Amino acid sequence: MSPVSLKRHGTVSVITIDNPPVNVLSQPVRQGLVDCFDAAEADAATEAVVLICAGRTFIAGADIREFDRPPEEPQLPDVVARIEATTKPVLAAVHGTALGGGLEVAMACHYRLAHRMSTLGLPEVTLGLLPGATGTQRLPRLVGVERALDMMLSGEPVAAGAAMEAGLVDKLTGEDLLAEAISYAEKLAKPGPRRVRDLAVEPVDAAVFDAARKRISQKARGLLSPERIIRSVELATRGDFDAGRAAERRFFLECKASAQSQGLRHAFFAERKTATIPGIGKETPSRKIENIAVIGAGTMGAGIAYSCLTAGFTVQLLDKDEAGLARGATAVRKLFDGGLARGKFARQDLESSLQRFHASRDFADLGGTDLVIEAVFENMAIKKEVFARLDEVCKQGAILATNTSTLDVDEMASATSRPKDVIGLHFFSPAHVMRLLEIVRGAETSGDVVVTALDLAKKLGKIGVVVGNCFGFVGNRMLYSYGRENQLLLLEGAAPEYIDRILTDWGMAMGPNAVGDLAGLDVGYKARQERRDRPDDPRFYRIADLLAELGRFGQKTGKGMYRYEQGSREPVPDPEVQALIRDEARRLGVPQREISETEIVERCIYGLVTEGARILEDGISHRASDIDVVWINGYGFPRHRGGPLNFADTIGVKKVYRTVAEFEKRFGPEYWTPPQLLRKLAEKNGRFGDIGN
Ligand code: T1G
């Protein structure tokens, strides 16, 4: 049964796509469209055609899953050409989202009607692609070159109202979309088809393209598709639609075959898989959460409180220290002022959120709370004290969560009589910005508590990744291996700024030394002090420990691995640190040498891959792609490389294994013994991507 149907209403033929959940243009849909447009064309009683979708949205684009398979006919550019060639006026009736190939199909239609709440966009760049079915040629003809470049280079969809103003949409409606579309189409029979391909592109100054190239050189350094988008739009200004279309297609196939697009497509699906938890059925109910309490009014506590308030929850911020509580409450209000200034919400939203915000110093006020998120000092004794108190005051069924970034969740749960209601909710700093929420499932955490945590993540606009309980969980446990290699490379002669430049050129959002200074070297130092299985190696994080013991905590003290001018966040190499490293290397008997860029990338990134493999072996993560999602959304790992384990699959696990085995010989088994899983995958030419999927 074709997912595309045709039904005539008077003189208007209505073509409906019904391909849940988001009406993607998979092969049966493409074939169905061609068949239905052929039928409407041949039907003498049809004077106009409406294209509409069933379900919650218009077409959300091409079927991305098909990109890893040989292409099937009819291909989308041919479907688009077929629609535009229709000799009777064609109206696209848009609701929900018209994205990518979906907007290209709508622009192949001669007119566009959109529901007021709909959005329209060409997000292909977020997948390392560019519109591949004439979008780069049609959009500039409708909205102008600059607006088209903005939309395609950002990938951000626009609201229907703005699309109307820009000329992308001809009419808006808030009513019954199908009825509105049929009556509008009846009126179009007279003017007849108006083909976008025949429209001229408003000429612009070449400076517009120079400016666009400058923008992408800063924001999308080394990425292929943004440059191809600019090139295609430049060709569109030459007015030869078919020449532009042919070039766009060449660029599209080039980008589709690129490792960058493979990485970005992997990330797209990986982020949608995290909510499927083996052993927890889709029917598992989620607990009702309206009231949330945050314990600890520090930076993280305030950020978490703000996130929960902007998501509509009632929030109580609790801190036993009066001054601390006042500082926390002020920080929350400051975040709201910032959000208002950036147009994130309207003043009345700010006021209604603050009405749901309460500050308290008394645990007794938590009797009615549905969820408590503890964000106090990273010290086990203090945390256990808090959990024991929560166990006394919180109602049965309340969820008791900890925001710890490394400590044992089961040990905290053991301080209560209800370990099944205890879970880790590890937010990343800044809590209101970072999209990742590491959800730590304890040995006794019940399934409905896990499901409730995943729902909470979605409501907060975050990606919840469920992981097991161990030191550092997934993210920080892997960070230890990555950071360890950085620290050893410093001792062996690589300057902090050299390591950071190589890893940022490779794609990391920030280098490990700049990240250490941002997070605070004191934070890492205290966490290492709490660690019970610290390696017996005097070189282990030696430089970071020394700097912390000297009070060089990083940005917050103006000095860390780097120096920071007053009020600046710009890291400046500090000769004092260089000398300290040299002296310590001499004291520890570590010879200094020239270190290649390749060695730095391999030791830091393969450190991640190796620890990722151990995490999978230990069952701390359900699937390899979850680990990729953690590092992309929590640690600035380049999205276009798809995460550490996807990267290993891209270059070949065998290559990684061989290099790790070499490192074991060179640097010893303590850090570089290849995990069994890595060896097995290498032997059978396997992929991490197949684990847990
Ligand atoms: N292809 C295949 N599957 C898709 C898909 C797509 N384009 N979009 C969504 N899905 C699946 C998704 O994996 C999930 O599956 C289910 O649909 C619901 O999605 C030639 C080259 C539309 C805003 O980039 O942004 O067109 O997990 O959980 O939160 O020029 O999906 O249930 O098994 O995200 O309500 C361009 C991608 C493609 C839009 C809905 N289009 N999609 O969000 O649901 S490239 C896009 C989205 C292209 C042409 C080019 C969102 C959404 P499962 P969901 P949602």
DSSP 559: B
Instruction: Answer whether residue 74 shows pLDDT above 90.
Output: yes
Residue 391's pLDDT is 98
Instruction: Answer whether residue 53 shows pLDDT above 80.
Output: yes
How many residues make up the chain in this entry? 693
Instruction: Answer whether residue 262 shows pLDDT above 80.
Output: yes
Contacts of 524 (CB under 8 A, 6+ apart): 483, 516, 541, 544, 548
Please tell me the residue having the least CA distance from ligand 1 atom 35. Answer: 22
Mutate which of 22, 253, 455 to test ligand 1's pocket (most atoms within 8 Å of Cβ)?
Answer: 22
Catalytic residue of the set 84, 124, 180, 271 = 124
CA of 27 to the centre of ligand 1 (A): 15
Binned at pLDDT 50, 70 and 90, residue 355 comes out as very high
What is the per-residue pLDDT across 376-403, written as a single tens digit (0 to 9) for each?
999 999 999 999 999 999 999 999 999 9
Binned at pLDDT 50, 70 and 90, residue 533 comes out as confident
Main-chain phi, psi angles of 113, to 5 degrees: -115, 130
Q: Which of 129, 132, 451 is nearest to 268 (CA)?
A: 129
Residue 531's pLDDT is 73
CA of 618 to the centre of ligand 1 (A): 32
User: How many whole angstroms from its chain centre is CA 338?
Assistant: 22
For the segment 596-606, the average pLDDT, to the nearest whole number, is 98
CA of 131 to the centre of ligand 1 (A): 15
Contacts of 603 (CB under 8 A, 6+ apart): 485, 488, 489, 663
Binned at pLDDT 50, 70 and 90, residue 535 comes out as confident
Mutate which of 58, 64, 455 to test ligand 1's pocket (most atoms within 8 Å of Cβ)?
Answer: 64
CA of 92 to the centre of ligand 1 (A): 20
What is the per-residue pLDDT across 226-249, written as a single tens digit (0 to 9) for each?
999 999 999 999 999 999 999 999
For the CA of 256, the closest atom of ligand 1 is 21
| Rounded CA separation 637/475 (Å) | 11
For the CA of 268, the closest atom of ligand 1 is 13
For the segment 241-263, the average pLDDT, to the nearest whole number, is 98
The amino acid present at 236, given as its one-letter code, is: A
Q: Give the H/E segment covering residue 78.
A: helix 76-84
Which residues form the pocket of ligand 1, taking CB atoms under 6 Å from any ligand atom? 21-22, 24, 60-65, 76, 97, 99-101, 104, 123-124, 127, 129, 131-133, 135, 269, 272
| Rounded CA separation 214/256 (Å) | 24
Instruction: Answer whether residue 567 shows pLDDT above 90.
Output: no
Residue in the structure block whose two tokens are 């190239």: 213
CA of 338 to the centre of ligand 1 (A): 32
Average pLDDT over the chain reads 96
Main-chain phi, psi angles of 163, to 5 degrees: -65, -35
For 174-178, 181-185, 207-211, 650-654, which range has the lowest pLDDT when averaged over its residues?
174-178
**Given the DSSP bridges, would you call strands 111-115 and 97-99 parallel, antiparallel or unpaired?**
unpaired
497 is catalytic: no
Q: Which of 151, 118, 89, 136 is nearest to 247 (CA)?
A: 136
| Rounded CA separation 102/122 (Å) | 9
For the CA of 67, the closest atom of ligand 1 is 21
Residue 693's pLDDT is 67
CA of 352 to the centre of ligand 1 (A): 33
CA of 250 to the centre of ligand 1 (A): 24
Query: 586-590, long-range: CB within 8 Å, 24+ apart, which pairs?
Result: 588/491, 588/538, 588/539, 588/542, 590/491, 590/492, 590/539
For the CA of 61, the closest atom of ligand 1 is 26
Contact between 520 and 544 under an 8 Å Cβ cutoff? The reply is no
Instruction: Answer whether residue 530 shows pLDDT above 80.
Output: no
Residue 527's pLDDT is 83
For the segment 497-513, the average pLDDT, to the nearest whole number, is 96
Q: Give the H/E segment covering residue 677.
A: helix 676-683
Residue 526's pLDDT is 86
Percentage with pLDDT > 90 across the chain? 94
Please tell me the residue having the least CA distance from ligand 1 atom 54. Answer: 272
For the CA of 76, the closest atom of ligand 1 is 20
3-state SS of 320-352?
Answer: CCHHHHHHHHHHHHHHHHHHHHCCCCCHHHHHH
Instruction: Answer whether residue 606 shows pLDDT above 80.
Output: yes
Q: Give the H/E segment covering residue 114.
A: strand 111-115
What is the per-residue pLDDT across 429-486, written as a single tens digit (0 to 9) for each?
999 999 999 999 999 999 999 999 999 999 999 999 999 999 999 999 999 999 999 9
For the segment 49-68, the average pLDDT, to the nearest whole number, is 97
Instruction: Answer whether residue 534 shows pLDDT above 80.
Output: no
Residues facing 425 on adjacent strands: 439
290 is catalytic: no
Binned at pLDDT 50, 70 and 90, residue 537 comes out as confident
For the segment 89-116, the average pLDDT, to the nearest whole number, is 98
For the segment 527-534, the average pLDDT, to the nearest whole number, is 77
3-state SS of 55-73?
Answer: CCCCCCCCCHHHHHCCCCC
Please tell me the residue having the least CA distance from ligand 1 atom 39. Answer: 60
For the CA of 63, the closest atom of ligand 1 is 1
Catalytic residue of the set 47, 84, 104, 227 = 104
